[in-house]
Amino acid sequence: MSGKMQIAIIGTGNVGSALGHRLAVSGCEVWFGTRSEKDLATLVDDIARAGGTAHVVPPEVAAANAQMLFLAVPDTAALPVATSLGSLVDKILVDCTNPVRWSGGPIWSPPIEGSVAQALASVLPGCRVVKAFNGFGAEFHLDPKLPGEVGVSVFMAGDDPEAKADVARVAEQAGFSPIDAGLLRNAGLLENAAVLWIHLAITGKRGRNIALQLVQR
Ligand SMILES: NC(=O)c1ccc[n+]([C@@H]2O[C@H](COP(=O)([O-])OP(=O)(O)OC[C@H]3O[C@@H](n4cnc5c(N)ncnc54)[C@H](OP(=O)(O)O)[C@@H]3O)[C@@H](O)[C@H]2O)c1
């Protein structure tokens, strides 16, 4: 392993592959943790051509090699996957998932703990859970730039200030605009913001090239 920040991406679908690509080319060393036999050679080659470093390994190996993990799996798989990764004590787990069902549009469907992130924290003692990177489409995970070269807002909720600061550093280095959105109890707000994004993009037919951005005047 190099002196680079070691990142695990758990789940290599739309979000995981896009975010892993972005973080790898921004200077992190990325460990894609995949449970499938999926061929990720093209993704890894693209990253290498862009000057980044990435590996494809089983999820538990990715988790063991990283200090910061991004969970990009279906919300229904979040708990079983996260609890199968081995010890996550002292590691940072960034929960990118959204608990959404569909009935003529998106409906927020959180677990009893209030949000997926809080449910994760309840079963992962010692793990520093941060809710983030869930509020825009995967196109923005790959390329966070908005007009004017501004990075898309990444709202972060979590109880550990150092963990949020570390996530903010990684996000900023990759061109995102991180924003501290308070304690983990606010994770449900972030999941609802994602539901609003989905409503506007899909039900409202504005398309996926939109973002909920914090602006100040
Ligand atoms: N799509 C978006 O634009 C978007 C934006 C923001 C947030 N999100 C949220 O991010 C999460 C991932 O979304 P996505 O669009 O990337 O999903 P996706 O394309 O379906 O990918 C999910 C990945 O999770 C992994 N996985 C692990 N256990 C699984 C299981 N039991 N069933 C299915 N997949 C499993 C698989 O990767 P391996 O085969 O490599 O294990 C799979 O490719 C979701 O919670 C979603 O709500 C999505």
pLDDT tens digits, one per residue of 183-216: 999 999 999 999 999 999 999 999 999 999 999 9
Task: State whether the beta carbon of 15 lies less than 6 angstroms from ligand 1.
Answer: yes
Task: State whether the beta carbon of 118 lies less than 6 angstroms from ligand 1.
Answer: no
Residue 39 has pLDDT above 90, yes or no: no
Task: State whether the beta carbon of 106 lies less than 6 angstroms from ligand 1.
Answer: no
Residue 37 has pLDDT above 90, yes or no: no
Instruction: With CA atoms as reference, report the closest residue to 168 among 176, 178, 160, 159.
Output: 178
pLDDT tens digits, one per residue of 165-187: 999 999 999 999 999 999 999 99
Give yes or no for a contact between 95 and 120, defined as CB atoms under 8 angstroms apart: yes
Residue 160 CA to ligand 1 centre (angstroms): 25
pLDDT tens digits, one per residue of 112-168: 999 999 999 999 999 999 999 999 999 999 999 999 999 999 999 999 999 999 999
Pocket test for ligand 1, best of 9, 10, 14, 192 (most atoms within 8 A of CB): 14
The pLDDT value recorded for residue 3 is 86
Task: State whether the beta carbon of 34 lies less than 6 angstroms from ligand 1.
Answer: yes
Residue 13 CA to ligand 1 centre (angstroms): 5
Strand arrangement of the beta sheet that strand 68-71 belongs to:
53-57, 29-33, 6-10, 68-71, 92-95, 128-131, 153-158, 177-180
DSSP 20-72: HHHHHHTT-EEEEE-SS----HHHHHHHHHTT-EEEEE-HHHHHHH-SEEEE-
